[in-house]
Structure 1
Amino acid sequence: MKEFLHRAALKAETLYDRAFGRTGQGRVIDPYIGYATPDSLIVRGRVLSKVTRANPTESQSVLTNIRQMISLFLTDEVQNVTVRAQGVEAVTDEEGYFRLELPRPETSGWHEVDLDIEGFEDQAMCHALVPRDDARFLVISDIDDTMLETGAYVLWKNLWTSFSGNALTRRVFSDAIALMDTLSEDGRNPVFYVSSSPWNFHHFLEQIFRHARLVRGPKFLRDLGLSENQFITGTHGDHKGAAIDTILAANPDLPAILMGDTGQHDAHVYLDAIKRHPGRIHAVVLREPGRGPDVGTMSVMREIEDTDTPLYHAPTFKGMEPQAGLS
């Protein structure tokens, strides 16, 4: 059945591309925030035939918001394009993604990397984060219902909230902003975000975070695209677990604080991460949205506590820094 659905969806996408003229003739880089490993600076992004950026207003209609959100998915990816930076080249895959591995800068902090496409004059800039030498730990946080009110634990609420709002009206929890400010210690400790939202939302999420003044950090989102070899990526847990593994490997000397919520199996994902990386997880922090954790999640939370990993959970993060001893 999955193979049948894969082929049907791929055929539908091909027919749509033909009908609406998505030819892949343009060349525009959609850059994602990069990150550092012990030896390299990883620069990521996607090449599209065009990129449409909305300039939302708080008063615009729900219909306009929905139309702008749908437009984020109507991308025309360009494969087999050479992207260059600092003498290093990478070729885009079937979904237009690229990954450049550059020499790690000698200085910490935010770095700007100029990108260009072979044969095209237009350039793009990618921002990348190199953790400070005095960092005490890193933070890996979920986004939906942890930082950003979404209602992801109820499908209809998730869809309505995600599509009916815009970058100026979506609500970032004020207690999440305050906790992240405390944990990051004015940039001393790096912050990473892991979400099952698609990469199509990267710029949109950047707009939301910037408007709310939420601590900025590299994001690890999910590829929901179709290709000959792929029918959407793995499960929510598979994606988040793999992203956590990548972040921890990139920062081998830093313990991690894992932040999430009890509405989307984050406790299960974090328990598995604790088992895979003994001694690396400094604490787990969970928001309890909606009705709070169900019986299964509560059981997993007890398992986390049995590993002697500090677990802090409540309906709100307000006042949690001193309670958790995280600051």
Structure 2
Amino acid sequence: MLKHALHRTALHAENLLDRLLPRRPRSGADLVIDPYIGYATPEHLIVRGRVLTRLRRSSPRDGQGVLRNVRQMISLFLTDEAAGITVCHEDATAVSDEEGYFQLPLPPGRAPGWHDIPVAIADGGAQTACPVLIPRPDARFLVISDIDDTVMQTSAYSLVRNLWTTFSGNALTRRVFPDSAALLRQLSEDGRNPVYYVSSSPWNMHAFLARVFRQADLVRGPMFLRDLGLSETQFISAGHGSHKGQSIDLLLNAHPELPAVLIGDTGQKDASIYGAAVRRHPGRIAAVLLRVPADGLSAEDERDLAKLRETGITVFAAPSFEGAAQQLDMETAALMAAEQRPGGL
């Protein structure tokens, strides 16, 4: 009931602002593209981004105060989106939606690795390089990792703490867990296995997160974030669980030949979310690796973990990811040996 009331209030406020501050017609020369990392499917290369009137970027300085941090973070959310704008790469085109987002599908056929795809705004707009990852043909599995409190400390389990962590810090002060960075490097195997990130953070944070990841030497990979836009049928976007589940489904469909390793934490019910993914995709999830927060597991978390282990997949749950990759390798080796024995699995 409260969420419905907030939705209606926010929607009325947005509609009122649109009437008071009508948007003038824009030419391509007035607009820019905020590029997001794209990904590949068997049928297409998916180039992604958002059309805006301007990019709000600021470079933090060492030791800058909380008020400056707050101003810089708020500026990331003060976007002016451009709907109905055509973007193109060669003969391929796409049109931005009501929040400015676009997905431009391109034919497959490029070599594995990273590509910067030049995308232009039609009618004289600037050209922007949109990065896309094409996995290697020798990939053994794909890695799908949560970000919040799995890779980077955000205190996502508490709204107040999450907001304070998000807005009081900057790209230089955000803490990336060293054990997560080491785990992802091990699982990536120098780029052999593709890594993808899923977060409840909004798309406005994409460039910010990319910068934090570069500074922490995290494995680079496409992100799947959430839309904060309002519409008649949507308030903010899908919830944390449904967003993460939908992203997992999308990535498994994009790599039909590869199993997946799912990485998360128990603070936001990832054991339950990942357990549901295991049941939706029998035989596709190779392992689930979970960080347990300092305050331990709740009774509900214990039940979710028990159900997850009942599926028979490898489950690692501990306060640190140290040793997780080794456990995964040992259990995989044991399984392969059992399959090769006469009368084995």
TM-score over 0.5 for the alignment? yes
Instruction: Tell me the amino acid that sits aligned with residue 262 of structure 1.
Output: T
Q: Is the 8 A contact 1:24 1:77 kept in 2?
A: no
Asked if 1:9 is matched to 2:10, the reply is: yes
SS of equivalent residue, structure 1 residue 104? coil
Higher share of residues assigned helix = 2
From 191, 196, 199, the equivalent of 2:195 is 191
| More deviation, 190-199/9-18 | 9-18
- 1:108 alignment counterpart: 112
Please name the residue that 2:32 is paired with.
Answer: 28
Measured after TM superposition, the shift of residue 6 of structure 1 is: 2.8
Structure 2: distance between partners of 1:173 and 1:23: 45
Greater shift, 176-185 or 52-61, is seen at 52-61
CA distance in 2, matches of 1:253, 1:67: 45
CA shift digits 1:167-203 (9 cap, x unpaired): 1110100111111110000000000001111111111
Rounded to whole Å, the distance in 2 between the matches of 1:286 and 1:23 is 49
Structure 2 alignment gaps of length 5 or more: 333-345
Q: SS of the counterpart of 2:278?
A: helix
Partner of 1:221: 225
Find the partner of 1:71 among 56, 71, 75.
75
User: Any conservation in 2 of the 1:167–1:208 contact (CA below 8 Å)?
Assistant: yes
Please report how far the alpha carbon of residue 38 of structure 1 lies from its aligned counterpart in structure 2 after TM superposition: 0.8
CA RMSD of superposed structures (Å): 1.7
Q: Is the Cα–Cα contact under 8 Å of residues 199 and 224 in structure 2 kept in the other structure? A: yes
TM-score w.r.t. length of structure 2: 0.91
Counterpart in the other structure of 1:261: 265
> What is the TM-score when the length of structure 1 is the normalising length?
0.95
Among 197, 204, 207, the alignment partner of 1:203 is 207
For the 8 Å contact 1:45–1:99, the answer to whether it is kept is yes
- C-alpha distance in 1, partners of 2:178/2:259? 26
1:291 aligns with 2:292: no
Looking at structure 1, the residues matched to 66 and 25 of structure 2 have their Cα atoms a distance apart, in angstroms, of: 30
Is the Cα–Cα contact under 8 Å of residues 32 and 125 in structure 2 kept in the other structure?
no
CA deviation map 1:233-283 (0-9, x unaligned): 121111100000000000011100000000001111100000000000000
- Could you say what secondary structure the match of 2:77 adopts? coil
The alpha-carbon deviation at position 320 of structure 1 amounts to: 2.2
Query: 1:23 Cα deviation (Å)?
Result: 5.2
Residue number among 269, 274, 291 corresponding to 1:270 in the alignment: 274
Partner of 1:88: 92
**Shift of the alpha carbon at 1:155?**
2.1
**1:44 matched to which residue of 2?**
48
Choose 1 or 2 for highest CA Rg: 2
Quote the Cα distance in structure 2 between the aligned partners of 1:21 and 1:74.
Answer: 16
Q: Is the 8 A contact 1:24 1:76 kept in 2?
A: no
TM superposition outliers: structure 1 runs of 4+ over 6 Å: 18-22
> Following TM superposition, by how much is the alpha carbon of 1:4 offset from its aligned partner in structure 2, in angstroms?
4.5
Q: Structure 1 counterpart of 2:10, which letter?
A: A
> Residue in 1 aligned with 2:153?
149
Instruction: Name the SS of the counterpart of 1:89 in structure 2.
Output: strand
1:159 alignment partner in structure 2: 163
- 1:312 and 1:40 map into 2 onto residues whose CA distance is 34
Instruction: Tell me the SS of whatever aligns to 2:99.
Output: coil
Unaligned runs of 5+ in 1: none
Name whichever of 54-63 and 253-262 sits farther off. Answer: 54-63
Provide the identity percentage.
57
Task: Report Cα offsets for 1:275-327 as digits up to 9, x if no partner.
Answer: 00000000000001231221101101111110001100110112322133279
Letter of the structure 1 residue corresponding to residue 308 of structure 2: I
Residue number among 88, 112, 126 corresponding to 1:122 in the alignment: 126
| CA contact 1:135–1:189 (8 Å) conserved in 2 | yes
Q: Which residue of the partner structure matches residue 340 of structure 2?
A: none
CA distance in 1, matches of 2:309, 2:298: 17
Q: Mark the CA change 1:134 to 1:24 in structure 2 (over 3 Å): closer, same or farther.
A: farther
- SS of 2:111's partner is coil
Aligned residues: 327
